[in-house]
Structure 1
């Protein structure tokens, strides 16, 4: 696909709408095995920069023990919603990541969220910077005495993930000169933005329905082909723009297993999770998985 054609497809896809079909730079941290079993999940909300021109309401899901954050430090996933959507509409996936041992922080973007007073699709290009604001805030929060999450965030290990416009937002966070805190990305039904996938190579996972009429699978494949480092592509055969993100729907189990083990591999350096990736999604009637430069 030529550059002009790809740009036209990206614009068309974003204009079509992107809600789901339903509803401290630090040194290297020693490798460790991801938690086994599951945690209870807690949730909190806060507003980042409430008096600014771009306030961000952020929902955070975290591993819990009773009413408190579970003992330990947990890697963080910044999750970005699509157009006319909200973080809570993605909780089927995000709460399960939290149960697996990740803190998930999901901003509601000021001009693309559902119910925005001044909704505009063009604001997607500003959202990668919002994602970085969330990361910087969480780094500060981890050292803030008295905050329930203080001391529980592994601020050397972040991933970015998102659906549709949130997938484009995720790709846009991987630019030249970014902090090494951001270690990996999951792009669901999305593609690249200008400047994406520059700088140090980072593992990327793409998830896409082959019959997606909003963001064609060719857009996701083009972004996959541009990534310089380890990358994998999970195709949902015959599926559209996001029905596979709904618990109980065909493909959800495979998407959950693959994304969770990808995060375990890239944020916990868990080699057993990396070895499971080719089989996590194996269902010839539902999925197809390809990868390059991954274990």
Structure 2
């Protein structure tokens, strides 16, 4: 709990003064399908472990829309009224969920529950680190989804009744992007309605099963996962998809508040999530405009108009 409060305090400091993540003085109205929330929520954060006694215990950090009140991010804050779509967020190699909090908390403030697992063999503190374990992480993502489906009906749990478990997206950065792609295989549940691959690519068997729109985001000068890898995955995706490129940028500096391209990346992701998980057509129509800034971003799109 002490670490959770420290992370919340640090993220709150990062978010201070940012309109996209600033809580309103009163709670927004409960969300409805067809129109995503337009006001920002305060953000709560909690942690739990999936399968704590199993061979692959999975610690999970969850950010969620909370009732109004300072600070912006509060451990175990009361959940806001309504049901919220869910985003499964996967970290990269030698990383942790809390290192992505400046991004994921903004998604929670926009009306999404973000559940981020700490993968057992690829996280920053893993005792037996191995990059080959990425191939097992899509199954971890599905374990988490099944856990959230059960949790939504668990009497007494703060999130029970607040999870729209029929409206789920998967997202991830770097190895987490490959993990995300690997969740979209033949026979995957239609609960998983969209995917966001940040500086990643496809895994064997990716992009099969029920239709799920995809968003790819990649730096044009990425030295770790070349942009060509991401574009190859985009070209292979059989569903509606878009590719947001940041020419001259590397492996993820555009995910850091204050860096060039961050406003466009954040706005594009939120438009995409609002469209795919809230069925908000206005967000889909805004996306091409929000995505592009001459000299900073370029957008290639096969999304419907």
TM norm. shorter chain > 0.5: yes
The residue number in structure 2 matching 1:232 is 242
Alpha-carbon separation, structure 2, partners of 1:36 and 1:44:
24
1:69 is paired with a residue of what secondary structure? coil
The residue number in structure 2 matching 1:256 is 266
The residue number in structure 1 matching 2:290 is 280
The residue number in structure 1 matching 2:91 is 81
Alpha-carbon separation, structure 2, partners of 1:280 and 1:118:
42
Give yes or no for contact 2:34–2:281 (8 Å, CA) kept in 1: no
1:70 is paired with a residue of what secondary structure? coil
Give yes or no for contact 2:182–2:204 (8 Å, CA) kept in 1: yes
Give yes or no for contact 1:82–1:113 (8 Å, CA) kept in 2: yes
Aligned residues: 266
1:244 is aligned to 2:246: no
Alpha-carbon separation, structure 1, partners of 2:67 and 2:212:
32
Alpha-carbon separation, structure 2, partners of 1:50 and 1:90:
23
Per-residue CA deviations over 1:47-99 (Å, capped at 9, x if unaligned) read 11111110111000000004310000000000000000000011111000000
Give yes or no for contact 1:75–1:153 (8 Å, CA) kept in 2: yes
Q: Higher relative contact order by CA 8 Å / sep ≥ 6: 1 or 2? A: 1
**Alignment RMSD, CA only?**
0.9
Runs of 4+ in 1 over 3 A off after TM superposition: none
The residue number in structure 2 matching 1:146 is 156
The residue number in structure 2 matching 1:8 is none
Pairing partner for 1:45 from 37, 40, 47: 47
Per-residue CA deviations over 1:131-188 (Å, capped at 9, x if unaligned) read 0001000000000000000000001000000000000000000000011000000000
Pairing partner for 2:139 from 129, 146, 166: 129
The residue number in structure 1 matching 2:205 is 195
1:115 is aligned to 2:117: no
Give yes or no for contact 1:201–1:227 (8 Å, CA) kept in 2: no
The residue number in structure 1 matching 2:63 is 61
- TM-score, scaled to structure 1: 0.89
Alpha-carbon separation, structure 2, partners of 1:277 and 1:232:
10
The residue number in structure 1 matching 2:114 is 104
1:211 is aligned to 2:213: no
Q: Which structure 2 residue ranges, 5 or more long, are not aligned?
A: 1-31, 69-76
Give yes or no for contact 2:271–2:287 (8 Å, CA) kept in 1: yes
Alpha-carbon separation, structure 1, partners of 2:179 and 2:235:
18
Alpha-carbon separation, structure 2, partners of 1:49 and 1:99:
28
TM-fit CA distance, 1:264: 0.2
- TM-score, scaled to structure 2: 0.86
TM-fit CA distance, 1:32: 1.8
1:195 is paired with a residue of what secondary structure? coil
Give yes or no for contact 1:47–1:58 (8 Å, CA) kept in 2: yes
